[in-house]
Amino acid sequence: MKYLAHLCALLLILSVVVAPAAATDGRYSYITVTSVDVALENENATVTLTYTIDEGIQILVHFLGMSDLRTKVIDIANFKNAEILEIDMEHAVLLVPGAGLDYGEGAYWFPKHEFGVAVPVLTVTSPQDSRTFTNTTDFPRGMGYFRV
């Protein structure tokens, strides 16, 4: 039990100390984001984050559970109302209801969005278009699209 308390304290210290300093290079605490894919369909978005977890922390995540990882993934994605559909040590899939604004008659707008880290490769895909950005902290201008 004593060792568990030490492991919890170490994880807490690492997550607090590393997170603020790492937001500019794809790192957020013990997570390094490699890509983010946003797939737009009507007013909803499916967001897939791919990442690596620092090797020394992987065992702690396995041992202590995914709760801290879930919180950090939500912080990185930075979408209100995001729901994690799937998460593991290499990627997470989130459903974001209402990510696209419904302008009526099948027209939608996905507005500018800021992420919690610099994303090495960001791809935003709608039924009509796909845009890819590199080393960005945000989706800069927004994008209009139509229901299929």
Residues 6+ apart with CB under 8 A from 115: 36, 76, 77, 78, 122, 136, 137, 138
Q: How many CB atoms lie within 10 A of CB 99?
A: 24
pLDDT of residue 17: 45
Residue 14 falls inside a structural domain:
no
Residue 3 lies in a domain: no
pLDDT of residue 24: 57
Over residues 18-26, the mean pLDDT reads: 56
pLDDT band at 145 (very low <50, low <70, confident <90, very high): very high
Query: What's the domain count of the chain?
Result: 1
26's enclosing H/E stretch is none
Q: Is residue 94 within 8 Å of 85, Cβ to Cβ?
A: yes
Residue 120 lies in a domain: yes
- Return the pLDDT at 7: 46
Residue 8 forms part of a structural domain: no
pLDDT at 13: 53
Give the pLDDT confidence score for residue 45 in this predicted structure.
Answer: 98
As a whole number, mean pLDDT of residues 108-129 equals 98
Q: Is residue 82 pLDDT above 50, yes or no?
A: yes
What is the distance between the alpha carbons of residues 25 and 47, in angstroms, rounded to a whole number? 20
Q: Which domain holds residue 84?
A: 24-146
pLDDT over 80 at 18, yes or no: no
pLDDT for the residue numbered 62? 83
Q: Tell me how far the alpha carbon of residue 113 is from its chain's centroid.
A: 12
Angle at 144 between CA 82 and CA 95, to 5 degrees: 15
The whole-number average pLDDT for the span 96-115 is 97
For residues 17 and 71, the model is more confident at 71
Decide if pLDDT at 81 tops 80. Answer: yes
Residue 34 lies in a domain: yes
Residue 93 domain-assigned (yes or no): yes
Cα Rg of the chain (Å, integer): 17
More confident residue, 49 or 6: 49
